Amino acid sequence: MDRYMRTFVSVAENQSFTRAADLLHLTQSAVSREIETLEREYGAKLLDRTNKFVRLTRAGEILYFHAKTIVSEYERARTLIHDLTHEPVGRLSIGSSYSFGEYMLPHIIAEFKHRYPLVTPKITIMNSKRIRMQVVQRQADLGIIEGTVHEKDMEVRPFATDELVLIVPPDHRFSGVDEIEIGEFESDTWILREPGSGTRDSTDQTFLALGFTPASVMEFGSTQIIKESVRAGLGVAVVSKFAIQTDLRFGLLRALRIKGHPIHRDFFCATNASHFRTKALDLFIDYLCQWRYPQ
């Protein structure tokens, strides 16, 4: 029955019998027969299908919700059994915050893949709040997040320390200094990450600690957009030092520290406390914690 569940999930997610057949290396008629077998098993129509669309019925939505878990747990059991006697293999689902995921994670994945070529990482980049939800709901094997972790269903481990710095364009009036009082930027527009981002949480905590309120704020959803906006002269921002190494090297941005208030935070790797851990996941966590991070 697991094969039928896998087929049903593929049709539901691709909204196409043809596409599902291609992905599963089956004929379209074989896919249709397996869906019909499920519909007889459950005594309900699971899919509305015409020449133009394939959509889940209400019964199909219920089955899809549970079938996703069934397929996931079946694959996990197979991987765990395989791990006992074989080289680590299979998909490794990693959710990462933007700061780490966009600038550091690709290098780590490349080195890890070279060492363990049979492991296939699947990367999702979101803000820390959404990554925590993915781990709790078992949609990600591992979450790489910033800031404080409150969820009791997660096991967390700090693995790197990050510094946040204030960035300005090269022609900014304060581009020639290394440290400055934050009050000097009261009239500037501040370009901030969205609420739920680890960087935003750290920035808000800094503002609160210093009793500082920006006169003007814009919110953007990724570090890359924020960097480009600062370079374009739209305002100033606080970002991870990891994210601006190339920009500093080529003189595209200037980094300043807030006088008397350095901003540091930890990166954590988080897993679901009740989830079985595969060999691939344990190896990746160990590799993550041993990787040498640029200063």
Q: Given this model, what pLDDT does residue 47 score? A: 92
Q: Given this model, what pLDDT does residue 182 score? A: 93
Residues with Cβ within 8 Å of residue 94, at least 6 apart in sequence:
105, 121, 122, 123, 124, 140, 141, 142, 143, 144, 284
Q: Given this model, what pLDDT does residue 7 score? A: 92
φ/ψ of residue 222, rounded to 5 = -155, 155
Residue 163's nearest CA partner among 258, 242, 269 is 242
Higher pLDDT, 87 or 27: 27
Q: What share of the chain is helix, strand, coil (3-state, %, to 5)?
A: 45, 25, 30
Q: Are 269 and 128 in contact (CB under 8 A)?
A: no
Mean pLDDT confidence for 129-151: 84
Q: Given this model, what pLDDT does residue 256 score? A: 95
Q: Select 91-160+266-290's CATH number: 3.40.50.970, 3.40.190.10, 3.40.640.10, 3.90.1150.10.
A: 3.40.190.10
User: Over the stretch 212-232, which tens digit does the pLDDT of each residue have?
Assistant: 999 899 999 888 999 999 999
Token pair recorded at residue 196: 């739920």
Residue 197's nearest CA partner among 160, 241, 147, 159 is 147
Domains 2-83 and 91-160+266-290 share a fold: no
Q: Given this model, what pLDDT does residue 144 score? A: 92
Q: Given this model, what pLDDT does residue 151 score? A: 67
Q: Report residue 53's pLDDT band, with 50, 70 and 90 as the boundaries.
A: confident
Query: Mean pLDDT lowest for which of 25-39, 139-153, 185-199, 243-257?
Result: 139-153
Q: Report residue 121's pLDDT band, with 50, 70 and 90 as the boundaries.
A: very high
Q: Are 162 and 242 in contact (CB under 8 A)?
A: yes
Phi-psi region of 191 (alpha: psi -120 to 50; beta: other; left: phi over 0): beta
Higher pLDDT, 144 or 87: 144
Q: Given this model, what pLDDT does residue 169 score? A: 95
The full length of the chain comes to: 295
Q: Report residue 3's pLDDT band, with 50, 70 and 90 as the boundaries.
A: confident
Judge whether residue 203 has pLDDT over 80: yes
Q: Report residue 170's pLDDT band, with 50, 70 and 90 as the boundaries.
A: very high
Burial 123-153 (b: 16+ CB within 10 A, else e): eebbbbbbbbbbbbebbbbbbbbbbebeeee
Q: What single-letter DSSP state applies at residue 236?
A: B
Q: Given this model, what pLDDT does residue 181 score? A: 93
- Residue spans per domain, the chain: 2-83, 91-160+266-290, 163-263
φ/ψ of residue 103, rounded to 5 = -120, -25
Strands in the chain per DSSP E: 47-49, 54-56, 90-96, 119-125, 142-146, 154-168, 179-180, 189-193, 216-220, 237-240, 254-258, 263-272
Residues with Cβ within 8 Å of residue 164, at least 6 apart in sequence:
199, 202, 203, 206, 238, 239, 240, 241, 263, 264, 265
Q: Work out the end-to-end distance of the chain between its first and last CA atoms, rounded to an integer number of angstroms.
A: 52
Judge whether residue 270 has pLDDT over 70: yes
Q: Report residue 148's pLDDT band, with 50, 70 and 90 as the boundaries.
A: low
Token pair recorded at residue 12: 């539901």
Q: Given this model, what pLDDT does residue 234 score? A: 95
Q: Select 163-263's CATH number: 3.40.640.10, 3.40.50.2000, 3.40.190.10, 2.10.109.10.
A: 3.40.190.10
Token pair recorded at residue 241: 């030092």
Q: Beta 237-240 vs 263-272: how paired, if at all?
A: unpaired
Mean pLDDT confidence for 264-292: 85
Q: Select 2-83's CATH number: 1.10.3720.10, 1.10.10.10, 1.10.357.10, 3.40.50.720.
A: 1.10.10.10
Q: Report residue 275's pLDDT band, with 50, 70 and 90 as the boundaries.
A: low
Q: Report residue 71's pLDDT band, with 50, 70 and 90 as the boundaries.
A: confident
φ/ψ of residue 112, rounded to 5 = -65, -40
Q: Given this model, what pLDDT does residue 171 score? A: 93
Chain mean pLDDT for the chain: 88
Q: Given this model, what pLDDT does residue 49 score? A: 85
